[in-house]
Amino acid sequence: MQIKPTPLLSDVVRHFLIIESDTQSAMRIFSDGNTGVVFNYGNALFYQHEMYPGLTCLPGCFLYGQLDTYRNVWAQGNVRLLIAVLYPFGAAALFKMPASELRNQIVGCEECFKTDPAWVSDEIASLPAIHDKIRAAERFLLSQLKESGSCDALITHAVQAIHSENGLVPVTRLAALTGTTERQLQRKFEERIGISPKRYAGVVRMQYALRMLRRKNGDLSLAAIACEAGFFDQAHLIREMKNLSGLTPGQYLGPQNVLAANLVRLAH
């Protein structure tokens, strides 16, 4: 379930996403070009940290930056998540750090926000109605946004241009469209989004292919989807999808697998 944010947050938050599942399972998150703040009001979640053996328990409020590869998350019981899906430049507007420092990171919000988020996690868990949970999350995010910098107009324009062409835009033309140099555009993307414009365009292109895959009918083959999304052939699409998500199209579309565009339930 996707819910639009208050207009006061519409430049930073793309939408709120509600994910509820009564099936204990492992989940996989991979890049869709956005970052997000996750409020967990269900059972504990765990993930495999790159630096430590075993599983790490995630706090009640955590964020994820731009991801180069997928991450697996395990639910210990029912899943109840409220996710503020940020625009790709949203993290830089909320957090007092370059977006590149959040790349491939899943961290507790207390490490990034200037106030302790524990109270909002408790409040969200205690409220029975979804819209009340979202209002609580919005109040918290607005309190962080007050002293943060505004969105960069150049980056906003570049991101809009990439999406308008479903990722099929070379960096040279993107620089020309935004009136800057490729080097400046690269630096801005690393600072405000956390990845290069080429990498971001590639993720957008893959997400375009996945949208077609989710909506396809008998008249649209995987080869046709690959062609429409600008991949050389079907094999190229499958290879790039596995690099991004670790999944084949068939695994991605398994029964009840897709919880969100970039979040899938893994088979036991």
Domains for the chain: give ranges and CATH numbers. 2-145 (2.60.120.10), 153-246 (1.10.10.60)
Say if pTM beats, i.e. exceeds, 0.75: yes
Average pLDDT in the 263-268 region? Answer: 79
88-141 pLDDT, tens digit per residue, is 988 877 877 788 888 988 888 888 777 777 788 889 989 999 999 999 999 999
Give 9-78 as a DSSP string. GTTTEEEEEEEEESS--EEEE---S-EEEEEE-SS-EEEE-TTSSSEEEPPSEEEE---SS-EEEEESS-
Per residue in 209-232, pLDDT (tens digit) is: 999 988 865 567 889 999 999 999
Instruction: Please tell me the predicted confidence (pLDDT) of residue 1.
Output: 75
